[in-house]
């Protein structure tokens, strides 16, 4: 069977450019990592991984060409080798072995996936399906984990039946081309111009004078992580329920509030990656469907954090309706970038994932790795794990990579979130302007 070729999507073409400018950057890996607890059937796990490759064309898609002529080539199914290792026997910890794997680039011109298993103990293994970002995104991670467990259970003789796939990635790319060639393109562009004109991206260079957005795009990424206290998560969830909105909106409002109090900018547009899964045909598609949107908040006009949440809610809902148009297809100059890029400052919340699944007598626990870094100079990524936990990781590069600055920013964000959870109707804090943490209010 010959490979089938189809044009790449807009997001894939943009990421392909990053691959060529940053070919040694591990952040272009987007893995599925899980801890497997219980007796593991080696052959059943291999069968499950092979079945994933059959089900999802993206896992057997390579990329060729460049620019507008970039194509994705879908190959016939073939076995996906599983590399088995005993980390202890090799003299390193499983976490160190995982970090090394995640920082090793994948060549999507050859094959988009690698799969590894490390034996931690008789009843514990660490599994990693490492994928190039061209063939997957955060939403796809949840699909792959769900399908892996279902296929493993079936291979062990269980009754699990994987969910139907729907569209494959190549079909989505064709639908996107049809949209961009239709009269809807002008309507989308008009909306985003009205929504974003007059806004600014955050000017973090005023806080971090050593930062250089251009240099940040090519330098190694550093990260600092923390977990929101359970009481803060509970308070924010209650606020989201009361305001009939989502945790994404509340967590984004806290990010806007933190940026406003540090930079003093009254009208901020923050970049975020939306899943772009509004069509039911793509809810179970594995691929790079996510696209970047800018979420504007006129923070200085809001009296309280609750007011800011309501204001941000409108922006998020509207962006959701118009997310099909990638930001990069908008005319330049709509947003004041101050000489930087619109995606210099990024905010992302992973879709809530079932982090603990059982199949074939084993428990598969999702692991959220921090070693993969970010392809953006300054990114706050939040990962809800279950109902009561939210992990926060702040990635920085270039002059923004100073550990103390990262810790201070993240601690300030946690302060904002905690204060919002306790008293969301208290007035927002005035900007500090010097990057210092302000504990008296927000």
- Whole-Å CA distances, 142 to 7, 31, 283, 286, 439: 26, 11, 11, 9, 37
Higher pLDDT, 50 or 389: 50
Stretch 360-387: mean pLDDT: 84
Strand 268-274 versus strand 113-121 pairing type: unpaired
The string of pLDDT tens digits covering residues 260-317 is 999 999 999 999 999 899 899 999 999 999 989 999 999 999 999 999 999 999 999 9
The string of pLDDT tens digits covering residues 251-261 is 999 999 999 99
- Is residue 433 predicted with pLDDT exceeding 60? no
The string of pLDDT tens digits covering residues 209-233 is 554 444 444 456 788 889 999 999 9
Strand 82-86 versus strand 113-121 pairing type: parallel
- Grade residue 338 by pLDDT with cuts at 50, 70 and 90: confident
- CB-CB neighbours of 96 under 10 Å: 13
User: Cα angle vertex 149, ends 145, 152, to 5°?
Assistant: 135
Stretch 366-373: mean pLDDT: 74
Stretch 176-205: mean pLDDT: 90
Neighbour-count burial of 158, counting CB atoms closer than 10 A to its CB (0-12 exposed, 13-18 middle, 19+ buried): middle
- Grade residue 207 by pLDDT with cuts at 50, 70 and 90: low
Which is nearest to 136 in space by CA: 175, 174, 168?
168
How much is the mean pLDDT over the chain?
Answer: 88
Neighbour-count burial of 24, counting CB atoms closer than 10 A to its CB (0-12 exposed, 13-18 middle, 19+ buried): exposed
Least-confidence region, from 108-122, 144-158, 260-274, 381-395: 381-395
Least-confidence region, from 257-261, 334-338, 371-375: 371-375
Q: Taking a C-beta distance cutoff of 8 angstroms, is the pair 49, 129 a contact?
A: yes
The string of pLDDT tens digits covering residues 405-415 is 788 999 999 99
Position 115 scores a pLDDT of 98
Position 354 scores a pLDDT of 67
Position 438 scores a pLDDT of 41
| Residue 121: its H or E element | strand 113-121
- Grade residue 204 by pLDDT with cuts at 50, 70 and 90: confident
- Quick one: what percent of the chain has pLDDT higher than 90? 62
Q: Which domains does the chain have, with CATH numbers?
A: 4-170 (3.30.559.10), 186-353+372-422 (3.30.559.30)
Measured in whole angstroms, the distance separating CA 287 from the mean position of its chain's CA atoms is 13
**Calpha distance 345→276 (Å, rounded):** 20
Position 441 scores a pLDDT of 41
- Whole-Å CA distances, 384 to 227, 230, 323, 367, 392: 10, 12, 22, 12, 9
The string of pLDDT tens digits covering residues 19-52 is 666 554 556 899 999 999 999 999 999 999 999 9
Q: Is 222 helix (H, G, I), strand (E, B) or coil?
A: strand
- Is residue 350 predicted with pLDDT exceeding 50? yes
Stretch 136-163: mean pLDDT: 94
């Amino acid at each position: 069977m010959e490979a089938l070729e189809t044009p790449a999507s807009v997001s894939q073409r943009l990421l392909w450019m990053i691959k060529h400018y940053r070919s040694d950057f591990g952040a272009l890996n987007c893995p599925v990592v899980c801890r497997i607890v219980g007796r593991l059937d080696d052959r059943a796990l291999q069968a499950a991984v092979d079945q994933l490759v059959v089900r999802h064309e993206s896992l057997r898609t390579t990329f060729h060409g460049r620019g507008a002529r970039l194509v994705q080539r879908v190959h016939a199914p073939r076995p996906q080798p599983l590399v088995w290792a005993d980390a202890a026997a090799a003299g390193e910890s499983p976490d160190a072995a995982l970090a090394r794997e995640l920082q090793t680039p994948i060549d999507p011109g050859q094959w988009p996936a690698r799969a590894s298993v490390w034996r931690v103990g008789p009843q514990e293994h660490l599994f990693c399906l490492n994928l190039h970002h061209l063939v997957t995104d955060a939403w796809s991670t949840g699909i792959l984990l769900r399908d892996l467990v279902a296929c493993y259970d079936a291979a062990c003789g269980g009754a699990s039946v994987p969910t139907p796939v729907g569209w494959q990635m190549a079909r989505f790319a064709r639908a996107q081309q049809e949209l961009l060639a239709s009269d809807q393109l002008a309507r989308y562009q008009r909306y985003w111009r009205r929504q974003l004109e007059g806004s600014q991206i955050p000017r973090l260079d005023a806080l971090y004078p050593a930062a250089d957005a251009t240099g940040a795009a090519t330098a190694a990424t550093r990260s600092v992580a923390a977990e929101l206290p359970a009481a803060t998560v509970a308070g924010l969830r209650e606020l989201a329920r009361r305001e009939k909105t989502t945790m994404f909106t509340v967590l984004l409002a806290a990010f806007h509030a933190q940026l406003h109090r540090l930079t003093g900018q009254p009208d901020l547009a923050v970049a975020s990656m939306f899943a772009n899964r509004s069509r039911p045909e793509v809810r179970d598609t594995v691929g790079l469907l996510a696209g970047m949107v800018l979420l504007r908040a006129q923070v200085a006009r809001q009296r309280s954090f609750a007011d800011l949440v309501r204001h941000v809610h409108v922006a998020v809902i509207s962006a959701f309706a118009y997310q099909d148009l990638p930001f990069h297809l908008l005319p330049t100059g709509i947003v004041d970038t101050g000489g930087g890029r619109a995606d210099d400052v990024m905010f992302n919340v992973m879709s809530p994932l079932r982090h603990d699944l059982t199949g074939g007598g084993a428990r598969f626990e999702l692991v959220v790795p921090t070693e993969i870094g970010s392809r953006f100079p300054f990114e706050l990524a939040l990962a809800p794990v279950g109902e009561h936990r939210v992990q926060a990781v702040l990635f920085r590069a270039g002059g923004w990579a100073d550990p103390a600055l990262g810790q201070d920013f993240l601690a300030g964000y946690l302060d904002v979130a905690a204060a919002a959870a306790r008293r969301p109707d208290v007035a927002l804090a005035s900007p500090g302007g010097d990057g210092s943490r302000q504990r008296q209010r927000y």
